[in-house]
Structure 1
Amino acid sequence: MRCDPLHQPFHRHDQARLIVFVRGDYRERAIEGQSRFRPGDFIIRPALFAHDGFGSPDAAYRTLPVSRAAWTRVHADHGWSVRTGRLPAELITDPEALMHTGDVVLSDCPTKAVEPAGDRTRLDRIARALVQPSATPTGELAEEEGLRPWQLTRRFLDRYGLTPTRFRQQARLQTALKLMAETSLSLAAIAADAGFADQSHFCRSLRTATGQSPSDTRRALLVA
């Protein structure tokens, strides 16, 4: 698949995916931070993980087929989290050999977790605050960092591709999905831990984002 050289907006895939980048340069943004990829890099994304992407005009990637058993092992080892890695040299130079190696990549290629964004800038600090379940208004967060609300919105859109309000909504949903995938907590407990007003608010947000009921979403997240 070729990448849109302009922008792939924030979106979610119903199923877990193993993506190998085979040509060009690609940058991906998520709630947890940003990553850059070059040919031979790969990324493992769990189901319903929100991200966007920017590719150079020549960028291309492949989605590798992966068995259910392999996804089950990944989930058991790493939970609902993104992993990245790099292919062996022989596979980088022979892209056609990739189409039948999804399970091999997952079992034989070392991976690492995507590092969360740091607190190097004012926007980084605000983003970390927005991920927390607290209900501190974005206007107050902007004021604490010496920004006006319109400045924060403009700079946030440029850096993260979302307004601060949308970023907070996505962050809460991201937290809730992780809890759904990795725990047996009730929907009410998940809603509270993720910062939603109540269970109804969480369920409405979930259905809007995924088009699924909470029970269907939980089944989709658990690959076992």
Structure 2
Amino acid sequence: MQILPAATYLGDSLTTRRANGILTSVTSYSEVNLPNVSLHAHENAHVTTLLAGATLEKRQRSECYRQAGQAVFFHAGEPHQNSNTLPGSRNFNIEFTTDFFQTYHLDPSDIAGAVSNNPLAALVFVNAYRESLHNDPMANDSVAMAILSLLDTRTNAGNRPPKWVGQVTELLHDRWNEQVGLEELSKETGVHSVTISKHFRRYFACSLSEYMRKLKVLNALSLIKNTSNQLTHIAYEAGFADQSHFTRVFKEVTGFLPKQYRNV
């Protein structure tokens, strides 16, 4: 099995930045450098966020089709393979060295859990990607702060979240482009609306309306990158009342204007 060294991926690495135990890079895939199906792993633990395109990812016990707007964590030395990668795919990679984990007193499993248990993690990494584009010595500090912010979410909100948190998450993600109100959440979960209202921010790190706006933006990421639809059409498809509102919320959540994100 091939072990890829730091900041090395199967595609073309466009930019690489190293500081404070973190390496960030952007990888692109064209017709001539699409990943083959050979099993490989990476020297460092890392998070890959798909900015554009899609790929079929296979691990030892799972197979998943990944597309723009998704973030995934890999442990150091974890075998995996990619196939059916779309030409034009682009990834933002954040690698963690031993120094990073020692500095922040963390274990790779802490980040793995934060990513897998936070359905909106990709939005945090898109924002980190925007920060990494600046020719600024503080850019990697901003990336580190984005990562650490994930650790202060519902996965660290005390004990294991109650069952209704998972039910609400599933319902909101299934119906992300609909108007799902508090009373409906209460009815579907069998939990009093007062209980949901009281604890929602604790487990979701924002209000219900803010969470729904973020969900819409999350789903708009792949529409912007993987289709040629006009932004006005994407705004309506993502459940926004008009393009102006879509543009404002998208900028607020990701740091990019929709047009900037399409062209970056």
TM-score (norm: length of structure 2): 0.43
Taking CA–CA contacts closer than 8 Å with sequence separation of 6 or more, which of the two structures ends up with the larger relative contact order? 1
TM-score (norm: length of structure 1): 0.50
